[in-house]
Structure 1
Amino acid sequence: MVGNLETFQGKLADSGFPTLVNLLAGPDFRARMTTRDLGPLRLVSLGTPASAVVGTARDVPDGENLAVKVMTRGRTRIEQGHGDADLGPADWVLLDPTRAVRFESTASTHVTILLPRRELRIRPAQIDRLIGVRIDGRQGPGALVSALARDSARSMSGFRPGDALRSAAAVVELIAVALEARLGAERSAPDERLRDRITGYIEARLADADLSPAGIAAAHHISIRRLHKLFEDQPLTVAALIRRRRLERCRAELIASGHTITAVAARWGFVDPTHFSKLFKATYGYPARALIDANRALTTRTPGPGPEQDGDHQGKW
């Protein structure tokens, strides 16, 4: 237990952390800190009170570290680079100790892995995109990093030099896999934008009877295979999306108008009325004719103005 803020900051600096200013620290400040080394890696376990911390940028000419901060208890919000990460237990974030940082946290415990930047073997531009970005520590490769950091902080001892180097390399490799997976998730954003454009294209052309996956792919200069891949994790395939939106348009029009089923179906791209009727019933569980009949019955039952509706009402409702 460290009961003095100045001593605590000195220990952090000795471990490779930048100078940090805790705006909430008072005379009753208490914290816990344990440091262990594994080859070129340093694991620092911290237990800190509620904090609001700022750190300024600093110049480190060579051998600078990156930091993987893993939450084990409490919550913290960290701002660094372009990132703004809200972390809960098990979540983690990649930080650059040479950059300005700001974070606010509840009373919490966390493990930080300090690793030489050169060990990670990820291009600087990619690292820049990852700094300050939350990594989910509950699933996928991010969960493995989170569990490893928490377990290693408790049990890391008794390594021979060669074993320590190989183990450190495995830890770094696992961190790299998780970070590259996060980059892959970011790269999916252009796919989402393209899918949104295609969905809008479909919506605007539902009345075109020739609307088809082949035509959509050609209009967006992609292959049909690429088009289907864009929608493989969506609730509906491209063809099913076209059918469903056309059926919804037909249903809305049949409810609101007195047009015939054939006319409405043709307006929204269904050239075969029989096929449309079968498809409608299979989708909604009742025939399209039921909407026509219900609309007609409602019109028949609607009375015109009568004597009892003008002026004072003298009869019974």
Structure 2
Amino acid sequence: MLKNFSLAKKITGGFVIILILLIALAFVGRFGLTRVVEKMDSANHFQLLVDHILKARQNEKKFILTNDPDAVSVVKDEIRSLKNQTKRILDDAKSKDIKKQAVEIIKKSDTYGKAFNDYVAFAGKKDTLMSDMNHKASLALEITAKIRDEQKAKYNQLRDESETKISKMRLRVSLAGKIHDAFLNAKGYRMVLAESNERNISIYEQWKGNHNNLKMASDQIKPLLVEENSKKSLQELLLRQKECMDKANLFFDDKTDDNNIAVIKAVREFRRTIISFQQEMQEQLEFYVEDVQTFSGQMMELSSGADQIAKILLNTRILEKDFINTEDDKLFKKIIQNI
């Protein structure tokens, strides 16, 4: 009976391919967006899904063109293998989002498998099957467009959020620079006081004033720190400042060699802590900007791919409607080419 199918009946098989392609698209879209890189193990699992889909596509085309019943068996085997592999991904996945998508893929696989079985078993009922495949093709186009739009929306969201965060991180870098500048100014006044036989009140107040400026910049940067390591670094910086001021005051009161050596050591440690903190703020800014650029590029690349697939699906649907009315071989070949 299969060898007697008309071209109008054969074309419905093309939508099975669209539906199977949808599995890969839905998985890749959300998988790529929520986990830009989830290690090589997940990539290897996905490659196995692709292999099953490609083999199923080849045999679906073979069935459409030759009505070979062996091709039907291969397609069913590949759908079964696709489900089994997806279940393994579900078992191994750590992300709740990936687990959710894997469950959805398994459900869709059952739907697609049933649609294909119905087509083979009831190929003579062209109108009924054409309507069913039409629905599945519409669903493919709808979900493809949804994936594209979701990724564009998330790209815009990432851009807006990153601009705000980058602005705060640049402010942190600026404040860290002010801390360093205040330290250098205070150091200069301390050295002048160290060379004086008597404490110059004006110079001493300038020294204290620069330390106050340093403390003020530290207070401004504190609410901008969200990383625990950065918070600890700032705490250490303030402890070093207190130690440095205490030892300097002891030296100003009693200018012995021991007190002088203690001040020099304290200043050296204070300077090291400030430079380390300043570098930490700069590196965090650079790393974040680099990450945002990477994520944005991947999102736009995937969104562009989904957009191209949506256009192909839309064009295929238009050709499909024309073919139903004309059964033109050229339209049939064009549909197969699009698929």
Q: How high is the TM-score relative to the length of structure 1?
A: 0.29
| Structure with the higher fraction of residues in helix conformation | 2
In our comparison, the structure showing a higher alpha carbon Rg is 2
| Structure with the higher fraction of residues in strand conformation | 1
